A and B are shown apart, each in its own frame.
Chain A
């Protein structure tokens, strides 16, 4: 069993690479590229030059001027727990920094080129970029800055898409000193933020999902969002299974009776009812002051939730909801939306499975033993009928996550679905890749879980 699980876990890796690759290349080949909406969020208008600067910055930071396959390789390297370090993960010791500063200070280049800080940065970036000692970087920088042509050639090599206009700024500068100055600032802007994988430095590291275009770490954002979605699903799944199993058994026992037919019909109807319509109607009628104001419209907690006691209580001010009840109160509508469509399929499955089992040979044997109907149903049939429901669990968990995309967006619940949709709207590549990865992981993990559960429930299955 353990070896089986380990094998399955290892098999997840190529699948996950496939999953992320599909999504990545879908984005990579799209017109407009990614990140455009950052400009949008920075205000409706961005002057052309600034927009270009921002775009360039992101291109450098995420390596967008590289071929898509290289970009993807970088992303995989960044996510993989075993991989190569990149320049941003490299640090210099204080001694190294000091040594470099000394070299710069001793050099006559310094006074000619303006503020020390900027040169410092340039050399440091160069050292990181080329993965050389900072002191060596000083001489590289000095050579490049003295020979403007060599410097320009290197910049062109560094970023092939650089605008002619920027290069012209260097060549058209009047004095040699100005040329060097322009070259320095150009080099600096090209080096900064550009991350290079250091193939010389393989390491075991924490998986890094990168930084969202909005500046936050993707892992951080996911850490906030995933528990919310998980909470929704952890509540929803047992409810779905409970209702499905109960109605399934009841319908099977009363096969052909009115309950069976009515429940079958109702189930298909519920299954067909679009969640979006349900959400809109629920919000508009059950959470609207003009009609029935029974439930809140949005979010997971009230604003005052912080200062609430945990359990409901009667105090001097009358009834106080308490944190627990408040959360449950907020969860009613979203959970309802997630639930009602889910148990249709399951219930039908349960009904069929119970029917199959009731007619099966072993049930006849059990009956022939003199076991009571109730025991036949709940001891023997029940457990065997659950097996197909476990099989379906692997597909129902991802389906629920899909469902929560809609529900979270309707009820403004800050979960993974909302994050994913926002990411797509913003064309936030790193965030979208992060959500895809998590989504894929959940899908694959639920498959493994399904197999393990199945092995636990059905003694015939073993993975030895």
Chain B
């Protein structure tokens, strides 16, 4: 009794640290692990190539001087996608500097600018449709230009049959650092430009899968009853389908298209996320804060998305990073089976060409893209492992014993 009367005798609380959300804590813990660091470094490198690909490998000079003065053919040839990605990277970099603005607000600004930039670019940017890759080389050879600054790899990924010389299946040399493909394209340039596809396939397809999975799983977990019953049948059906056959069927019947492929990968990959989310939501539904939220009469949308989703989505993160790795592998497998993309460079497709229609094994076509796939998948898996270790409370507890 006595002690309670005197609040001074109670130990003073420590000066309050900024409260950190569970997610932030997990992410911080994860980035502290060396496996995750290696993984993130590699993904960063791939992302860098994906963003700045057109500036790294292009047949068009960055700058050159002709009789008409100095101009940049490369800028002229940037596609709308190139411009949007570059512009958004710039915006993101600038926004990161405004540390004081709230993170959510910055994301909103970023998205807003993104929409504006995309619309503007799609309206304004009209790159030439008929591209003559060799024109600048020919112009330089004919001394029409005084000087020109080329990109590091002076070939575009689809720059083929140059000057009608035999450029097919050249092994790596000073001119072509990674050799050339069966169509005479520079492999190094294709490798760089393929980064974008590798990233896009991983992120978009996993994103789609997560969206579907979380929504279906969330609904199943929250409502249970017949929604759950129906959903579980759907989950059962989709988990019993041999996914690879379904994928191959999809691609074989609907044709090769990058976006279609991502959507299909998403459509077939949601089952795991749904099961995860369902289990989480079933647990969460019983928890007091959710009961309280319901009791307060909050609308369903608010209960589901504001109160339950942030708490239930963490384990999904782990499987998402494995999912991204899986999607890249699947894309390369499909490409390898000859169901991949045609003109756009993709690692799997290059690896497929290594087997050689000509019956000749071209090692550079196997090693470079193959190991690019390997390192990327490895990186994602490392991140996933680190994330799992960071989240897994059991391991934490064990470490404290």
Any A–B CB pair closer than 8 Å: yes
The distance from the CB of A412 to the nearest CB of chain B, in whole angstroms, is 12
Query: Does B245 lie within 8 Å of A406, measured CB to CB?
Result: no
Cα distance A439–B382 in the bound complex, in angstroms: 31
**Chain B residues within 8 Å of chain A by Cβ, number:** 49
Within 8 A of A (CB), among B334-392: 336-338, 348, 351-352, 354-355, 361, 363, 366, 370-371, 373-374, 377-378, 380-382, 385
8 A Cβ contacts from A86-134 to B = none
Smallest CB separation, B287 vs chain A (Å): 25
- Can you identify 25 A-B contacts, CB atoms within 8 angstroms? A15-B233, A15-B237, A19-B240, A22-B238, A26-B246, A26-B250, A30-B253, A264-B385, A272-B325, A272-B374, A273-B374, A273-B377, A274-B333, A274-B373, A276-B336, A276-B348, A277-B370, A280-B370, A359-B398, A402-B242, A402-B243, A421-B248, A439-B242, A440-B241, A443-B242
Contact status A281-B246, CB under 8 Å: no
Can you name 6 extra interface pairs (CB under 8 A) apart from A432-B245, A442-B242, A443-B239?
Answer: A18-B234, A31-B254, A268-B382, A398-B242, A402-B244, A421-B248
- Nearest neighbor of A402 in chain B, beta-carbon distance: B244
Question: Is B180 on the interface with A (CB-CB < 8 A)?
Answer: no
Residue of A nearest to B378 (CB): A272
B243 to A, closest residue via Cβ: A402
| Contact call B248/A424, Cβ cutoff below 8 A | yes
Q: Which residues of B contact A48 (CB under 8 A)?
A: none
A14→B351 CA distance, assembly (Å): 40
Chain B residues at the A interface, C-beta cutoff of 8 Å: 35, 233-234, 236-246, 248-250, 252-255, 325, 329, 332-333, 336-338, 348, 351-352, 354-355, 361, 363, 366, 370-371, 373-374, 377-378, 380-382, 385, 394, 398, 401
Main secondary structure of the interface of A (DSSP, over half): helix
Give Cα A26 to B234, complex, Å: 16
- Interface-central residue, B238, B240, B363, by most chain A CB under 10 Å: B240
What CA separation (Å) do A275 and B246 show in the bound complex?
19
Once the chains bind, are A22 and B248 in contact (CB under 8 Å)? no
Find residues 1-32 in chain A having any chain B CB closer than 8 Å to their own CB.
Answer: 14-16, 18-19, 22-23, 26-27, 30-32
Q: Is A355 an interface residue (CB 8 A)?
A: yes
Query: Is B332's CB under 8 angstroms from A424's CB?
Result: no
Interface of B, secondary structure class, is helix
Q: How far is the CA of A402 from the CA of B35 in the complex (A)?
A: 28
Interface residues of A in 405-440 (CB under 8 A from B): 405-406, 409, 417, 420-421, 424-425, 427, 432, 435-436, 439-440
User: CA A460 – CA B85 in complex, angstroms?
Assistant: 56
Measuring CB to CB, which residues of chain A are less than 8 angstroms from any residue of chain B?
14-16, 18-19, 22-23, 26-27, 30-32, 34, 264-265, 268-269, 271-277, 280-281, 284, 288, 355-356, 359, 398, 401-402, 405-406, 409, 417, 420-421, 424-425, 427, 432, 435-436, 439-440, 442-444
Q: Whole-angstrom distance from the CB of A72 to the nearest CB of chain B?
A: 14
Q: Are B398 and A439 neighbours in the complex by a CB distance under 8 Å? A: no
Closest residue of A by beta carbon distance from B355: A280
Which among A16, A427, A436 is the interface contact of B253 at CB below 8 angstroms? A427
> What's the Cα separation between A442 and B374 when bound, in Å?
30
A424 and B237 contacting across the interface, CB-CB below 8 Å: no
Chain A residues with CB below 8 A from B254, complex form: 30-31
Closest Cβ of chain A: how far from B33's Cβ, in Å?
A: 12
Chain B: minimal CB distance from A9 (Å): 14
CB distance from B321 to the nearest CB of A (A): 12
- A440 to B237 Cα, complex, angstroms: 9
Bound CA span A49–B286, Å? 68
Cβ contact within 8 Å between B252 and A424: yes
In Å, the complex CA distance between A271 and B381 comes to 9
B90 to chain A: closest CB distance in Å?
33
State which of B233, B244, B355 has its C-beta within 8 Å of the C-beta of A18: B233
Residues of A within 8 A of B371 (CB): 277
The answer to whether residues A276 and B241 also contact, given A15-B236, A268-B378, A427-B252 and a CB cut-off of 8 A, is: no
Q: Are A268 and B385 in contact (CB under 8 A)?
A: yes
Contact B240 A425 (CB under 8 A): no
Residue of B whose beta carbon sits closest to that of A280: B366
> Do the beta carbons of B233 and A14 come within 8 Å of each other?
yes
> Is A23 in contact with B240, judged by CB distance below 8 angstroms?
no
- Closest CB in chain A relative to B342 CB, distance in Å: 16
Residues of A within 8 A of B253 (CB): 26-27, 30-32, 34, 424, 427
- With the chains together, A359 CA to B400 CA distance in Å? 13
Residue of A15, A424, A427, A439 most packed against chain B (CB within 10 A): A424
C-alpha spacing A432/B338, complex, angstroms: 18
Contacts of B234 in A (CB 8 A): 18
A41 to chain B, nearest CB (A): 15
Q: Which residues of A contact B385 (CB under 8 A)?
A: 264, 268
Q: Contact between A277 and B366 (Cβ–Cβ < 8 Å)?
A: yes
Chain B residue, CB-CB nearest to A290 = B361
Which residues of B are found within 8 Å of A272, using beta-carbon distances?
325, 374, 377-378, 380-381
A15-B240, A16-B240, A30-B254 as given contacts; A23 in contact with B348, CB under 8 Å: no
Q: A15-B233, A288-B361, A359-B398 are in contact. Are A440 and B242 (CB under 8 A)?
A: yes
Chain B residues with CB under 8 A of A284: 361, 363, 366
